[in-house]
Each structure stands twice: as structure tokens, then as C-alpha cells.
Amino acid sequence: MSVAMTENERTADEHPSRGVRAFVVVFLTAFVTCGLVGLELWPLTGWRLFSHLRTDHQIAWQATAVAEGGETQIRFGELPRAYRNFPLVMRTFAALPRAEQTAACQTWLDAARRTLPTANGVRIYRVDWYLSHRHGPRDGPPPHSTLLLACGSKVADAAG
């Protein structure tokens, strides 16, 4: 590298190679394209962070472990982290083939047995609720649950 020296600093006149220039152009083009088009090629991303409108209406999912004594809500936050993505899995659950839905449900049953060994089934509910039921004017309708799926030895038929 040729270096021009001054008292305290030097300036090198070396330029980035063609390979480096191509690398920069390709990387930034991919970054900008994903950002503009909304492509998800993780770690390149479309940056959709809270970009869709939130409304009063909320959809949540709830899973209960079924045992002789009745139903007990499965608290996924208290299970190992590997099982805590229940609400995320449920976002696309309806699009899964029935066999995959049942397999996932069976996995949650196995997890539920960690805290409730007598559990013989799992029921999954969709819960429609309104933030205004809890906040602000508190005039929203109360939560409403719909049974989506059941799995296990004695509860599978209950979901229809």
C-alpha cells in the first residue's frame, strides 16, 4: 500500500478491489430489494414490524389438559421453552393437514403430562375476545371460546 504521510495521519490511495465492490453491490441490492418488496429471506427481511393495524378484536388460543377431574389450562409459559411457541404454531394451525394437527396436539399432551401425569387428552380452543372488555370503556363483549380440536385417548371424538 502506498502511503502519503502528514504529521499525524497518513492517506492511503489503495481502492477496494472489484470483488469487494461486487460484494457491496450484491449485498445492498439484496437488502434493499427485500425491504422494498417485503421478501423474507432471513436474515434478510421485509421489516414487517407491527405494520398491520391492530383492532379491539383479539384472537387467542387456549389448550386444556383433560383428566378424570375435568379440564386444566395448560400454562405453556411454565413449560420448557421448546413448547412455548403454542400461540405461534396456532396462527397457521388451520392450514395444516389434519394428521399434522393431531401430531402437534399429541405433542402438547405429552408436555401437559409433565405437570399432570393423569392427563388423557388435550382440547384446543379458539378464544375471541375484545380489549375493550378489559380496558378503556370496558363495554366490549365478553370472551367467546370455540373448540377447534381434541386429541387423546378419550377426548378425540368430542371435537367432532
Partner 1 sequence: MQRVERFLFPSASAERLAALRIGLCAILAGRLATGPYTELAGQPRELFRPISFMELLPAMPPEPAVAALQAIGVVAAASAAVGLWARVSLPAAWACAVFLNGMLASTGKVVHNDVVLLLCLVPLLAARSADTWSLDARRAGRDQAGVTSRLYGWPLRAAAIVVAGAYFFAGVAKLVNSGPAWVTSDNLRWALYASGDSDLAVFIADRPWLAHALAAGTLLLELGFPLVLLWPRAAWILVPGAVLFHLGIWLAMGLDYSAQAATVVVVFVNWPLVVAMLRARPRPASTLE
Q: Which residues bind partner 1 (CB under 8 A)?
A: 1, 3, 8-16, 19-21, 23-25, 27-28, 31-32, 35-36, 38, 40-56, 58, 80-83, 85, 88-89, 91-92, 100, 103-104, 106-107, 110, 131, 134-136
Cβ closest to partner 1, residue 9 vs residue 139: 9
Q: Give the DSSP letter of residue 131.
A: G
In angstroms, what is the minimal distance from the CB of 117 to partner 1? 18
In angstroms, what is the minimal distance from the CB of 112 to partner 1? 13
For residue 155 the three cell numbers come to 377426548
In angstroms, what is the minimal distance from the CB of 97 to partner 1? 12
Cβ closest to partner 1, residue 131 vs residue 159: 131
